[in-house]
Chain A
Amino acid sequence: MTRKPLLTTLAAALALCAGTALAQTGPLKIGFITDMSSLYADIDGPAGAESIKMAIADFGGKVLGRPIELLTTDHQNKADLAASKAREWIDQQGVSAIIGGTSSGTALATNKVAAEKKRPYINVGAGSARLTNEECTPYTVHYAYDTVALSKVAGKAIIQKGDKDWFFLTADYAFGYSLEADATTVVKANGGTVAGSIRHPLNASDFSSFLLQAQSSKAKVLAMANAGGDFVNAMKAAKEFGIFKTMKPAGLLVFINDVHSLGLKNTEGLLLTDGWYWNQNDDSRKFAARFFEKFKRMPSMVQAGDYSATLSYLKAVQAAGSDDADKVMATLKSNKINDLFAKNAYIRADGRMIHDMYLMEVKKQAESNTPWDYYKLVATVPGDQAYTTPAESKCALVKK
């Protein structure tokens, strides 16, 4: 090779290497990837991005003298889109951390990218407990809830009420599989049986065929291992086809937005697991009021989780004195979290954020006094019991 091309090549190679290093000056960039337009857009979506902006503003807009910048994108529930955006942001924009929204498929894909590139990945919206089990990494935090907690809290409560023969209507992707598997474990451990399951495509337009097959199984409980728009549509179709004359609904992941869509008449008595409720204390109510002013609806646990995760991350960066991933992760895992989302919560070695989970029951129309007054608290389950215990964990990072 002659000299000039050699030098150019060398210079280009050096420039490429420099791109992946963290910039120590200039804005601190946080990336937020979630479903902004499809079936999960209401429970997280653009309002989740706003919650993150609120957290950044409340923190002061700057950390370690650097202004904080938020990048957002819509992954449309496509894992490859999420992963390639995360990669692009880290490589070309120098993003320091990524906050993950809904859809377990995209979360698992982004998780791998974050581990490879050594950036903190705080997932708030996705459900699959695989993020802190089989797919755990030193750089991932799973924040608001997971499929294990959903199964152990509401799943167990429903079985203990006496409905022991279940049939699963499962969303055909990572989240559905995780939730069905974790719920099946709980059902069997409590003396129940699973008559069968059927998978429906994500964002299915017509549930009639799947529901009729569920009904023909003669099981007593229709367990819905899906969420958001899918859960709402399945419930509506089930009512239309008279499925609830022979089966009881069990919503394994129900958000307050879903209850609002369906109305109390169609959801009263439903037992569900929640990680946060807008009406649970003064701090939560204050945040809810700010959120309501902007969006005319109450925040879900994911949106509150987005706020809290951002705040926790920024506090960790401040305390660690740098945005270096290893230092920040160490700080995150050594401090307690006390804010509007959770009290006395902590992040375990496997990345699981351990906080209290709540077993809620949807109120009857007559019991609800004010708008969005939908839940009554049945029980509080401490995080240590709700989430995967160290003994059950499939992650190498947690000590058994």
Chain B
Amino acid sequence: MDLFGIPLTALLSQLVLGLVNGSFYAMLSLGLAVIFGLLNVINFSHGALFMMGAMLSWMGANYFELPYGLMLLLAPLGVGVLGVLIERSMLRRLYKLDHLYSLLLTFGITLVLEGVFRSFFGSSGQPYSPPEWLTGATDLGFMMLPNYRAWVVLASLAVCFATWFVIEKTKLGAYLRAGTENPRLLEAFGVNVPLMITLTYGFGVALAGFAGVLAAPVMQVSPLMGSNLIIVVFAVVVIGGMGSILGSIFTGLGLGVIEGFTRVIYPEGSATVVFVVMAIVLVVRPAGLFGREK
């Protein structure tokens, strides 16, 4: 059966793959949005910390024989701790300055992290197999979907939804949102805002680390895996609206699907379609699809 002259099976299978990629975009842009929302920091090191999550997972498996399930908890924790250290020691000195300085700092951190890992591991990927309980594939009729990829979509959606719930519906989230609007006033109420900021940064990058663990069996665990994604993720955040939680989730998934769609119709354009969409959105709605004018 053909739709627009393309076999339906090909279309559906690319859309499913697009959903998988979209899950990564959603998780990463969620972390970025949370960090930008509260800290006003453009966290360029998000990609490198995503890579660190995958690397920690790989190192845990290779050097300590730790199971995947355990690394799903440990790796984000490790990346979160690293994030807290970065924030405490370096990032907090730059809050008073222009956005650009934190961008440069986090960019520098990316270069350092990627360089160090590249010197140890080379730039091609280390293999990482999915865990026993997620191998195998399900026959969807139009394609065989590896169970692991289905898990990626489900886990990402669960974490994204949980994050949204915490931020929008709980007291802690209320503090976070208040801190975004007026940190001085919140501090006057007795809330420890600097601590909140540190933990938020840690949490945001922990999300990236979690995405990294999910990504390890899908992409190659390579020092450059983050830099391949980060540019697209930034475009996603811009399209969704910087600081909007729901925006980044929907936009991430949506753009993953659009990319998959483009791969079938016009494969050469699949790398650039996200930026074309970004350009259009910026012209029509400069604050992003779900963003609010500040």
Any chain B CB within 8 A of the CB of A292?
Answer: no
For B270, the chain A residues whose CB sits under 8 A away are 209
Shortest distance between the CB of A211 and any CB in chain B (Å): 10
Given contacts A205-B222, A205-B228, A212-B17, contact A37 B124 (CB under 8 A): yes
Contact of A216 among B7, B20, B127, B145 (CB under 8 A): B7
Q: How far is the CA of A37 from the CA of B264 in the complex (A)?
A: 33
Known A-B contacts A208-B17, A213-B10; the reply to A37 vs B225 at CB < 8 A is no
Cβ–Cβ contact B218 & A206, under 8 A: yes
- Whether B125 lies near A205 (C-beta < 8 A) is yes
Interface residues on B, range: 20 to 34
Stretch in contact with the other chain, from A65-73, A238-246, A308-316: A238-246
Whether A37 touches B118, Cβ cut-off 8 Å, given contacts A205-B125, A209-B263, is yes
Residues of B near A123 (CB, < 8 A) are none
Q: What is the interface size of chain A, counting residues whose CB is below 8 A from a CB of the partner?
A: 25
Please pick, from B13, B122, B148, B219, the residue contacting A205 in the complex, using a CB distance under 8 A.
B219
- A76 x B123 contact (CB < 8 A): yes
Please count the residue pairs between chain A and chain B whose beta carbons lie under 8 angstroms apart in the complex. Answer: 66
Q: Is the CB of B17 within 8 A of A229?
A: no
Q: CA A198 – CA B263 in complex, angstroms?
A: 11
Most chain B CB neighbours (cut-off 10 Å) among A206, A215, A240, A241: A240
Assess whether A38 is in contact with B14, with CB atoms less than 8 Å apart: no
Contact B9 A216, beta carbon cutoff 8 Å:
yes
Q: Which partner residue on chain A sits nearest B135 by CB separation?
A: A240
Q: A205-B219, A205-B225 are in contact. Are A212 and B124 (CB under 8 A)?
A: no
Q: Cβ of A203 < 8 Å from any Cβ of B?
A: yes
A201 nearest CB neighbor, chain B only: B271
In the bound complex, what is the Cα–Cα distance between A229 and B148 (angstroms)?
22
Known interface pairs A38-B123, A213-B10; A242-B222 also in contact (CB < 8 Å)? no
Closest residue to A41 on the B side, CB-wise?
B122
- B144 within 8 Å of A (CB atoms): yes
A261 at the interface (CB under 8 A from B): yes
* Given A205-B219, A209-B260; A37-B17 close (CB under 8 Å): no
19 other A-B residue contacts (CB within 8 Å) besides A213-B267, A240-B148? A37-B124, A41-B122, A205-B220, A205-B222, A205-B225, A205-B228, A206-B218, A206-B219, A208-B17, A209-B14, A209-B270, A213-B10, A215-B143, A216-B10, A232-B127, A233-B125, A233-B220, A241-B137, A241-B145
User: What would 6 A/B residue contacts be, using CB atoms closer than 8 Å?
Assistant: A36-B122, A38-B124, A216-B10, A240-B146, A241-B146, A245-B144
Task: Please list the 4 inter-chain residue pairs (A to B) with the smallest Cβ-Cβ separation, ordered nearest first.
Answer: A242-B144, A37-B122, A216-B10, A205-B219
